[in-house]
Amino acid sequence: MTRMMRVWAKEEPFGTELADVSIGGGVLSATGVAIGTGPAPYRLDYRLTTADGYVTARLVVRVQGQGWRRVLELERAAAGKSAGAWSCRTEAEGAPDLPAPGGPGGDLAALAGALDCDLGLSPLTNSMPVLRHGLHEGGGPVDVLVAWVSVPDLTVHAARQRYTFVRRERGARIVRFESLDDTFTAEIGFDRHGVVLDYPGIARHVP
């Protein structure tokens, strides 16, 4: 098991993120804290655990701002009749001008087939599909469906993404990210462990 600390400086909206990450034996776990500035100042804390193959098991996110707080507990069932099904529990206090947390109308059916969560503005959660397919070493394109968590409102949406290994560059492994739902693309730098170093337009690693 490899354990590491990562600090990223966020670009726009400005902020920072600190993550304590453990990777090994096909699983990843992490705890992290992020400070954001938009659309209003907030603090975000998260805890992520995966099952074998870097498949998301549980993501717990807590966000608080001045006079409001939100909680999202997002889980993917690994066994039994509900294997592969996603569920969530939410809490919300205060009345910021944000959508309600969780899936649209509480429905997560659109996530059927998704193996990964993707926490908005966090570079960490791009690691799971890359690690599963070894894309930091080569290969692709690989298309994935993810449970994308918008920040800071904590709404959950199905999102389609594509990852393709591009090249090695100055100690980083460059993987092209493409959103299949819009025109956003980025060439993300990963380290040898498959953890993001630099994500242009989102965040950069602070040594």
Q: What pLDDT is recorded for position 13?
A: 75
Q: What pLDDT is recorded for position 189?
A: 98
Reading the chain (207 residues) residue by residue, the pLDDT tens digits are 899 999 999 987 789 999 999 999 999 999 999 999 988 899 999 999 999 999 999 999 999 999 999 999 999 998 776 788 999 999 999 977 888 999 887 789 999 999 999 999 999 999 999 999 999 999 999 999 999 999 999 999 999 999 999 999 988 999 999 999 999 999 999 999 999 999 999 999 998
Q: What pLDDT is recorded for position 47?
A: 98
Q: What pLDDT is recorded for position 82?
A: 79
Nearest 5°: CA angle at 120, between 150 and 43?
85
Q: What pLDDT is recorded for position 40?
A: 86
d(CA 174, CA 196): 10
* 3 state SS for the chain: CEEEEEEEEECCCCEEEEEEEEEECCEEEEEEEEEECCCCCEEEEEEEEEEHHHEEEEEEEEEEECCEEEEEEEEECCCCCCCCCEEEEEEEECCCCCCCCECHHHCCHHHCCCCEEEECCCCHHHHHHHHHHCCCCCCCCEEEEEEEECCCCCEEEEEEEEEEEEEEECCEEEEEEEECCCCCEEEEEECCCCCEEEECCCEEECC
Pairing between β-strand 142-149 and β-strand 116-119 as defined by DSSP bridges:
parallel
Q: What pLDDT is recorded for position 155?
A: 96
Is the CB of residue 75 less than 8 Å from the CB of residue 57? yes
Q: What pLDDT is recorded for position 81?
A: 66
Q: What pLDDT is recorded for position 78?
A: 83
